[in-house]
Chains A and B, each alone.
Chain A
Amino acid sequence: MTNLKRFLIRRFLTFIPTLIGVTLLTYVIAFIIPANPARFWAGGLKARPDVIQMIIHEYHLNDPWYVQYYYFMKGILTNSMIDPVTGYHVMSYILSRFPITFQLALFGFFFTVVLGIPLGIISALKRDTWVDALVRVWSLIGVSVPIFWLGYIFIYIFFYKLGWITIAGIPYPPKTITGVPIIDAILEGAWPVVIENIKRFILPGFTLGFASIGVVARLTRNAFLDALNSDYVLFAKARGLKKLRVYGHALKNTMVPLVTVLGLQFGGLLGGVPITETVFGIPGMGRAMVQAIFSLDFPVLIAGTFMIAIIYVVTNLIVDILYAFIDPRVRY
């Protein structure tokens, strides 16, 4: 257990350079854009010079980039920076939108796991049949089709033609516990709200997870086939183990590479969030970031990037911990 504690401390320390690196890169990219944010924030062409001066002073826009970066990060982390475009505290604004994004990613991840893994297993068991070919084609389509195209096609079919789903508003349960609507609704037992949330998120979630389903199915197929062809499965059969137990051995070994990829996919889903949220009109963090780009709203952009980076590193940490539970060879 002390080993786990040491491992966690070590990993948390590696978070710091990762987060600094990600935000710094985003910041530098925003900084070199040849635009005049102060003027834009002050009202564009008609901006009053004294207001522009105030904004430059407030956001240290005349200071060197590293000083600016320092004040940006300090303002975001202490939640003391007020967003020049929206007027909210930057971090509060991002945090208020984050639960929606998280819920969307959860839906995408749900489809990734619930469809990706079984499809991969079926594909492996029915190797070189039409089922296998179908799954492979799906994987290829999944990684090739752009999310925005797929999203509009789905909206056309399921909303416009069939009317099975809703694409407006986020139903909230009466009380806020975690902030994530569907989790709160489940915790409170507000089942109509749960169903409303499912109807609202099922399509964006599926769209978001579409590529991941293919990736995970392919990986599961290959890992499961490797396991089935391994010597331990041969030995298991040779010992006369029951069929289910033989498959159990193969499945658990398949989990080892799968957990890593699932973690990365969860991070990848967050990367797809801005497009999905824009297409489906979901007021989450991703859409806030897209809007921030259009209005040169760097504080929101950097705060959003910061959140995504945090989710990424935390997911990877969870993966590493899970790893040790599955594979006894892994030691901290």
Chain B
Amino acid sequence: MPEPIVIVEDLKVYFYTYAGVVRAVDGVSFEIYEGETFCIVGETGCGKSVTSRALTKLIDPPGRIAGGKVLFKDRSGRYINMLELDEETLREMRGKEIAYIFQDPAAALDPLYTIGYHFIETMRDHGTIRSNKEGIERAIELLREVAMPAPEVRVKNYPHELSGGMKQRAVIGIGLSNMPRLLIADEPTSYLDVSVQAQILELLRQLKEKRGLTLLMITHDMGVVAEMCDRVAVLYAGHLAEIGPVDRIFMNPLHPYTQALLRAVPNPTRRMLKLEPIPGNVPNLASPPPGCRFHPRCPYAMDICKRERPKMIEVEERHRVACWLYAKR
């Protein structure tokens, strides 16, 4: 059994806006094991992106990390709390230990600089190259690794001269340029054509195998989850609803939200006659419902759901759920 590379304990990220305190992530705990692909799924605004960014404190005001711990296993095997690191150490961790790629590759690349420059600055600021010439050589190698056609040419191109799929390949290459151990892919295929999506997912899988990366995928696409992930965390309105191995989540979803979610999208593991939307709306996180945040939309809601937040319960091996239905009475 591999050890966790990241342990998140009771993470809280709040946004202090004029409309009040938005509890975007409110007491989320999970761990990511070395070498696995871990997925966080949920609807837009459920806090999945914020969770992933909080791992390296990449939260801008008015957002603030209001509590919790993020333990990261460094190369010597010790766990360090990312949230207690100073700005400079965090900067060194970002990109070198934990790398990010984002959903819109066209926006992630600075339009005024060449692809090669993006590589060079990323490696320069982490001291992994000594000269720009070495940087270009490394950039070409990396572009080749992400299967970019004609990397010697592409390295001199500007972002607008590349197609969407090529841009995302470049972004992945740039992200990997300092040999990070954890790659956080925040909806890496959402902005791409369907035909390119599969290629990018395949690329991520290959890179992960080859480099022994740990992959954290943020997605709302159950197809991507089934395709890529080893374990899944289902997030609802800033709370963790359910966490478990991917096959258990699909075969035996425990939380009513997970069940509803799987009925609302095409489920690769079973035949479905029609899709059912989840009734109701996502709650406003500035004034979320008390107790279980899903209870206003839950067909099984009980009195206790409205009063108390359910704790995580391990129902089967490595498969935990936060729901009163499974509490021992």
Q: Which residues of A contact B (CB under 8 A)?
A: 230-232, 234-243, 245, 249, 252-253, 256, 326-329
Contacts and interface: CB of A to CB of B under 8 A. Distances in A.
Residue in A238, A256, A327 whose Cβ sees the most chain B Cβ within 10 Å: A238
Nearest to A235: B108
22 contacts: A231-B108, A232-B110, A234-B108, A235-B100, A235-B108, A237-B58, A238-B94, A238-B99, A239-B94, A239-B125, A239-B174, A239-B175, A240-B92, A240-B94, A240-B125, A240-B126, A241-B91, A241-B122, A242-B91, A252-B112, A329-B111, A329-B158
Contact of A232 (B53, B92, B109, B158): B109
For this complex, into which size category does the number of interface residues on chain B fall?
A: 20 to 34
A256 B122 CA distance: 23
A242 B125 contact: yes
Given A234-B58, A239-B94, A245-B121, A326 B112 contact: yes
Contacts of A241: 91, 95, 121-122, 125
Most buried by B among A237, A249, A252, A327: A237
B56 interface: yes
A6 B50 CA distance: 50
Q: Which of A235, A242, A256 has the most CB of B within 10 A?
A: A235
Contact of A238 (B100, B104, B110, B112): B100
B58 A238 contact: yes
Contacts, number: 76
A11 to B, nearest CB: 23
Greatest chain A CB density within 10 A among B53, B93, B111 is at B111
A249 B117 CA distance: 12
Interface in B148-186: 158, 160, 171, 174-175, 178
Nearest to A249: B110
B53, B91, B108, B110: residue with the most chain A Cβ atoms closer than 10 Å: B110
Given A234-B58, A239-B174, A240-B96, A328 B111 contact: yes
A243 B100 CA distance: 17
A245 B91 CA distance: 12
A328 B110 contact: no
B107 interface: yes
Interface of B: 53, 56, 58, 91-96, 99-100, 102, 104, 107-113, 121-122, 125-126, 158, 160, 171, 174-175, 178
A240 B94 CA distance: 5
Contact of B158 (A234, A237, A328): A328
A242 B94 CA distance: 11
Nearest to B110: A232
A237 B99 CA distance: 10
Contacts of B178: 240
B316 to A, nearest CB: 36
Nearest to A253: B112
Contact of B171 (A235, A243, A245, A328): A235
Contacts of A235: 100, 102, 108-109, 171
Given A237-B94, A239-B175, A329 B58 contact: no
A102 to B, nearest CB: 32
Contact of B93 (A230, A240, A245): A240
B112 A327 contact: yes
Contacts of B56: 238
A329 B160 contact: yes
B247 to A, nearest CB: 32
A253 B56 CA distance: 26
B94 A230 contact: no
A117 B287 CA distance: 41
A238 B178 CA distance: 12
A227 to B, nearest CB: 9
A232 B125 contact: no
**Shortest 9 CB-CB contacts between residues of A and residues of B:** A240-B95, A231-B107, A240-B94, A238-B100, A235-B108, A239-B95, A232-B110, A328-B158, A239-B122
Nearest to B108: A235
A239 B171 CA distance: 10
Most buried by A among B92, B100, B158: B100
Contacts of B58: 234, 237-238
A232 B108 CA distance: 4
Contacts of B109: 232, 235
Given A232-B111, A238-B94, A238-B99, 13 more contacts: A232-B109, A234-B108, A238-B58, A239-B95, A239-B174, A239-B175, A240-B93, A240-B125, A240-B126, A253-B112, A256-B112, A328-B112, A329-B158
A231 B102 contact: yes
